[in-house]
Structures are given as C-alpha cells and as structure tokens.
Structure 1
Amino acid sequence: MTATAWDRLFHAYGPATDTPEHLAALSGGDEDEIDDALDHLDGAVLHQGTIWTATPAAVAEVAARLADPAAAATAQAGMLQWLGWAMDAARQSDPGAEPVPEPAEADVDAFLRASAAEDEEAWSSPVVELLMRRAVVDVRALAPQVAAAASPLLDHPAPDVRREAVAALGAATALLGEGAQAPAVSALTDLVAASADRDEKAARVLAVRDGGGDTSPWLTDPDPAVRACAALGERGPAGSAELVAALRDPAACDAWFTERPPQLGRHVRLVLLGELLEREDVSLDQMLPALTAMIAAGGAFTVDSDVAPILRRTFPEVVFTPGVRPEPAPAWSAAQCAVVAALVANEATWAPGNGNAVLARMQVGLPDDRAAAAALLAERQR
C-alpha cells in the first residue's frame, strides 16, 4: 500500500489520501474502525456504483487483505461483499473503445492541481474521462485476483463469509477470460451439488448465473426458491414460466430465505418481477398471473418497483412526456383490463399523497381518482 500514490488518485469526495488509513483498519481488531472502513469503501471509493481512480488500488489492497489469517470474520464478509460490488460495477460500466489512451502526465498534474484548488471546472477536463475509463479497465483486470482471494473462503466456518465469498467469486468469474471462466463455473456448479442448505444453494446457483454458467439443471429442483434463482439465469420459456409460477405468491417468495442471497439486493419478489418484465419474448397474457398477484400484494412504498413498471409494460403503446398526462390507450385487451382491475382493487395504491403512485398512473394515462379509473375500466370492457 505504501507504493501507491494515493494523492494522485481520487474518489467521490476528492483526493484518496484518507483511503490508506481505512484500508489498514480492515486488518485491525477495532470493530468500529472496520465498520468505518467498509463505509468509506462503499460511500467514497465505490460511491453509488461508480468506479473512481482510487477504486483499482483499493480492490487490489482489499483482495490482498482477505488472506490475512488474523482478519475477523465480520471484516472478511464485508470485504468480500465490497469486492463483489466492485466486480459488478466494473461489469456494468462501459469503458468505451479499448485500449483506453494513457493521458499525458502534464494533463493529469494540471487536473490534480485544479481539483485540489476546488476548481469545479477541473472536472470538465477531457483527462477526467480518460482516467475514469482506465479505472474501469483496471478493475476488470483485477478479477483473477479477486477470484483467487474469494475461493479459499468458500468453506469458511462462518456462514456470512461463505455467502459473500460465493457471490464475489461469481461476480469476478463474469470478468475472467474465456480460458479461466470455464473451470471457475465448473467449480461453482460442483458447489451447488454439494449444498444442503436452501440459502446457500440459492446463492451458489446465482453465482453460476453471474459467472455465465448454465442454471437450467436447477429449474426442476424440488425447492421453489432454488428453481426461481435458476430461472433468473435461464431466459428461455422454462425459466420465464418458473418466474411466473413463483410470483403467483409474492409473499411466499419474500419468506423463502433466512439469510437472503447477497446477489438479491432487495425483496425477492421485486427481483423476480424486474427480470420477468425485461423479457420481451414473454407476452402480457403469459405473465398476467404474476402481474395481478404482484399488484394485489403491492403497498404504498413499493410502487416504483412493482405497480409503475407493470403499468408501463401493460400499456407500451402510451407515450409519456414528462409533466403531461397522455390519453389512455383507446382499446384494451382482456389482459390490460385485468391489470387495471387489480390496480383498482388494491386500495393501498390510491392514497392521494402518494406521488409515486400518481406518477405511475399518469405515465400510462390512467386517472388519479379510483372511481374514475373503475369507470374507465368498465368502459373499456364493453
């Protein structure tokens, strides 16, 4: 870590000169300092999933510290979780055309001086884009190091370390070269076969998915939670049918796990719904049982994640201009009517002060008044 010029690197809040102290704390025994260090990595070095120039060096350092036999299990779990997030961010970030040009040192120096002087115009310099693009490439290149650091912890005695290790390994495997990816996926597949615990088996299936492996063998697993996780990685008809089947009972989906797999970052039902709605080859009629069940189970605080995307998928023909309520679709299919009927029936989504619900209806031309929506539905059903 001493060889890294942290003063020439930056994170979301400026020069990364504060990062080494936090990294060192990860190998200490002070739980508060460990928590602060993990918060720093998440909130500054990988702020909102953005890769900064300090991120590659931090990834390398965290991966190295995982091998420290003195590291506490809580620190290891947190480090693995963060490494998995970093791998996911690198996979989802577009570095543009490669190879990314090396910026001139003089330009980098000029940017760093301007940034240190809090010159806001410094961030409009072309050198910033090059530095950020190179950071993405550099994090991707660290995938083998992350995979190597996570692998020995797959059989750690602490369940949370095992969970985060398999998630980090899956995320890193997605970025490995073709030659290294196949054996990594094979090893993950073997882990699934050795699983007896639902939570762990589901996390391992998701790691196979993340690594680019085939999850279809588990679409026939006797456990519905495992089948649903397999369906997230299988985009064919069988996988989509399993998603629909699972979402017929949204509450059951959310009750599956004692410890939700790390790869499922929110309510299970919302993850499954999001994946289903993205599948353009699945018709509205085919997904209807899932959509009506999800609307019926929806509450005031999840409208952005259930009702809103369902309505947009239900009425793709309605074009929305921000601030302008469009006309509702002139003719509704039976499936469209069924979705609106489910919406009208759920009182929880009609609170007048719920701005997200108002916007969700506005985007597809539905009225804000529940009785008016019911009247419109009756008219379209004639």
Structure 2
Amino acid sequence: MDDRTDDVDWSGLFHASGSAGDTPRRVAALLGDDAWASVDGYSHLWSATLRREGKAWPATAPTAMLVADLLDNPLLGLNDPSLPDAMLAYLYEVGAAADLGDRAAGIRAGVKDRAPELRAWNVEYLSADAEGRARMWQDGTGLGELVLDQAALACFDVVPVLLRRTLPYLASERVRRRTCAAAAVGSLARHPAASAQRSELLQQLTSIAQAADSSYDLATIVIAIGHLGGDTRPWLTDSHAGVRACAAQAPGLAGDDTAEHVLLELERSPQAFGKSFGDMAPPLQLQSQSFQDMLTGRRAS
C-alpha cells in the first residue's frame, strides 16, 4: 500500500460541505502557530471529513492518511499535547467506518460494474449547489449510496497502512496516548489483513489494560480488547461500574451469564454508566456511539 497523498485529486473528492480541495490546507494548519487556523482545521477534520453516523465521505480515506502523517510530525502538539491523542481518536473512527465485515467484495464488484455512472454522479455532485446536492441523494438511482459505500471501501483499503502507522503509539510514554492508540488499534485491527497479528496485539492490549491507572483508560482499552474478540471476562467483576459495562458489551460474551447480568443492571439504570465516569466524557469509542446504541448492536450480533 502506497503511503503517498501528494498525488490525490482533492478537488475531485467531497466531504460534508462540498469539494475537499480545502482539506489539505486546513488539516495542515494543525501544525502551525496560528491558533484560529488550528481550531478551524480541527473543526473541519471532525465535522466535515467524517459523517455524523461515524461513516465515511469520499474525502475520508485520504484525510486519514494526512492524519497519519501528522502523527509522525514533531510539530504536532507543541502547543497542545492532546492533539496527537485526537488524531488517534480520528483513526479509530476511520477504522470503524472501514469495518465492512463480509461486504467489501460485494461493494468492490458493484463499484466496478457502475464505475462510469459513479464518476458522472460525482462530477455532477461537485458542480451542483446545496439544493441540487440534496436532490441527488434522493434521485432513485442508488448511486449516492454506492458512492458512500465506495468511500467506506477506500477506508477499508488504507486500514493496513493506518494500523502500521498507529502501532508505535501503543508504547508511548503518555498514558492517554497509549489509551487512544489502543482504541484505534481495536478498530483498525479488525481488518482481515491483521488476522495474523491479532493474537499478539491482544496480548499487548491486555498488558496495557493491566497497567492502566484510571477507570476511563481501562474501560477504553477493554472495549478495544472486546472489538478484537479478546476475553474481557476478567473485568466483569471490576469495582468500577463503567469498566464492568464495557467488558460486558464485548460481542464474544453474548450469552455469558455474568455479562448478561451486568448489562441487565445497566438497562435498569442507563444513566449509571455515564455517571460512573464522573466529569469525564465516556470512553473514546462511545463518544460517537452511545452505550445504548452499542448495546443494541451487541444484542443484534
């Protein structure tokens, strides 16, 4: 997989606001000293290049590659040490958007079959005004939905590179950076190309979890372990309700009596989960998906 982004035709891609021609400049501002431009770039990254449902726009995959480049740049976070953590959180979201399960081959075939139509739809979309773009999503051709599936497929295809670029941060000296890297790995390593690595990665995540010194970090890492099919049963009896809940929602524990008991307790008092982390936000993976949504998805799996 080629890591280069300098040959991307950004003007031929779109995000939530239209053409993505502005994305490289605005994301690069995160490395600069202009505070306003940095805030604008951060807002653009999260509000424009990711869909609200945690899914991808056509600009998402190449933007993720820019983010991976930012992570390795020593200028990132000089004025705000939390910025690298946020970039890892972004890569978590991209991994979630790229988690196609067994749909990748079908999407690839559909994209190939309708490639000329997709190109024409994309060109028309980029030249339309806001009202015209809104109409195109409901034009009855199904091309808009396939464009978005193609965007998810593009993310799927860059995940092996993103995972490789993320792995070094599991050994960061910063606790929160390790935690954010663990969350990112928990979504990126679900890719089929990472299947041979998964056992080793689970051992590494388990070691990080055992060294975690806050319930927030532990809960975040436990979710990542569950995402990769690891055994989260050791944390079902943790003294912290939030950690227990995050351990219990692991797909691999469906039908486990202890896990079901923990989740039933949470269903009786859903607010208890949020309150368990005090003034902190919920674990990273639940900031774009509520615990209730994740629980519903687990029940359906």
**Structure 2 residue corresponding to 1:216, chosen from 213, 233, 249:** 233
| 1:214/1:141 CA distance change after superposition, 3 Å | farther
Q: Distance in 1 between matches of 2:120 and 2:100?
A: 30
Distance 1:133 1:247 in 2: 33
Residue 106 of structure 2 is aligned to residue 97 of structure 1: yes
Cα distance in 1 for partners of 2:294, 2:73 equals: 39
Confirm or deny: 8 A CA contact 1:172 1:211 kept in the other structure.
Answer: no
In structure 2, do the counterparts of structure 1 residues 279 and 142 end up closer, same or farther at CA, with 3 Å as the change threshold? same
Paired positions, count: 279
Distance 1:144 1:218, change over 3 A: same
In the other structure, the counterpart of 2:90 is 82
For 2:12 and 2:37, the matched residues in 1 are separated by: 25
Give a deviation string over 1:56-80, Cα, whole Å, max 9, x none: 1111121122111221023212222
Would you say the 8 A contact 2:24–2:66 is kept in 1?
A: no
- Residue among 276, 281, 286 paired with 1:264: 286
Corresponding residue number in structure 2 for 1:6: 10
CA contact (8 A) 2:170 2:182 kept: yes
The match for 2:201 is: 184
Cα displacement (A) at 1:11: 1.6
How many angstroms apart in 2 are the aligned matches of 1:54 and 1:171? 19
Aligned with 1:102: secondary structure?
helix
Alignment gaps of 5+ in structure 1? 282-382
Partner of 1:301: none
- Give TM-score, length-normalised by structure 2: 0.78
CA contact (8 A) 1:103 1:130 kept: no
CA distance in 2, matches of 1:159, 1:4: 35
How far apart, in 1, do the equivalents of 2:119 and 2:211 lie? 53
- Aligned-residue CA RMSD (Å): 3.3
Q: What whole-Å deviation, never above 9, does each CA across 1:147-201 have from its counterpart, x for those lacking one?
A: 2233222344545433322211211122243213232222212211222322211
| Residue of structure 1 in register with 2:187 after alignment | 171
- Between the aligned partners of 2:300 and 2:121, the Cα distance in structure 1 is 45
Higher relative contact order (CA 8 A, sep 6+): 2
| Percent identity for Structure 1 against Structure 2 | 27
- Give the distance between the partners of 1:228 and 1:41, measured in 2 at CA: 30
Match of 1:133 among 140, 149, 154: 149
- CA change 1:252–1:46 in 2 (3 A) is closer
Larger radius of gyration: 1
Counterpart secondary structure, 1:185: helix
TM-score (norm 1): 0.63
Q: CA deviation at 1:257?
A: 2.0
Q: Distance in 1 between matches of 2:191 and 2:276?
A: 30
Of 19-28 and 222-231, the range deviating more from structure 2 = 222-231
Alpha-carbon distance between aligned partners in 2 of 1:87 and 1:263, rounded to the nearest angstrom: 11
Question: How many angstroms apart in 2 are the aligned matches of 1:134 and 1:279?
Answer: 28
1: CA distance, partners of 2:83 / 2:213: 26
